[in-house]
């Protein structure tokens, strides 16, 4: 797939998971985490999506609810996605901090 140009579609659920995670960080650290931090973190997570199938390798999903999807991860985020032709659709996201708890069913 080298040299392939992909179109990326990020479903609302994946976007919401990213924003929700950082919204909770903002609540917990309200005296040290500001709106600029929130925006930077959300921006970075969303832009990491464009690395899927380019520099983030395809992996077998480790979450049961992601069965039937492909998975890719950065150091901070795991993404579930499908590929249809040249379109990659990101259907879900999970922060790395939450992966172990999610995998254990907590």
Q: Where are the domains positioned within the chain?
A: 7-103
Which element (helix H / strand E) includes 49? Answer: none
Measured CA to CA, the distance from residue 72 to residue 66 in angstroms comes to 11
The predicted model scores a pTM of 0.88
**CA–CA dist 85, 83 (Å, integer):** 6
Class of domain 7-103: alpha beta
CA-based Rg of the chain, rounded to a whole angstrom?
Answer: 14
What pLDDT, in 10s, does the model give residues 19-68?
A: 999 999 999 999 999 999 999 999 999 999 999 999 999 999 999 999 99
CB 50 within 8 A of CB 81: no
Q: 99: buried, middle or exposed (CB in 10 Å: 19+, 13-18, 0-12)? A: middle
């Amino acid at each position: 797939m080298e040299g392939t140009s992909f179109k990326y579609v990020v479903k609302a659920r994946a976007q919401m998971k990213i924003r929700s995670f950082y919204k909770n960080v903002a609540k917990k650290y309200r005296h040290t985490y500001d709106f600029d931090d929130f925006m930077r973190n959300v921006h970075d997570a969303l832009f990491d999506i464009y690395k899927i199938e380019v520099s983030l390798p395809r992996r077998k999903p480790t979450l049961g609810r992601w069965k039937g999807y492909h998975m890719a991860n950065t150091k901070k985020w795991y993404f579930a996605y499908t590929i249809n032709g040249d379109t990659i659709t990101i259907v879900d996201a999970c922060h790395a901090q939450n992966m172990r708890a999610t995998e254990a069913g907590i």
